[in-house]
Amino acid sequence: MLLLSCVLFSAVGCTFDNKSSDKISEDDISGGILRKEVFALVSSAENSDTDYSLQYGYIEDIGDGRGYTAGIIGFTTGIGDLPDVVELSC
């Protein structure tokens, strides 16, 4: 799941810098139907719900020893990936 998360995050992150075209095709992961399907698939595996938009604001200490868990794929403060995501997105 971590590998899928890294691939998804990398693919989406790389497409945000592409300013060559204002129009996004439906099969483009940066904004088309493919993005929605991939996010729904990840959300289904991580959160048992395909409505990934509900997970963006999620943060909770679920008591698993990894600190706070947040977001669509469950970044955590205990292993350091959540602070990295916050720093990169600001």
Residues annotated as catalytic (active site), given as ranges: 46, 64
CB 88 within 8 A of CB 75: no
Residue 74: how many other CB atoms lie within 10 Å: 20
Cα–Cα distances (Å) from 76 to 11, 33, 48, in that order, read: 21, 28, 18
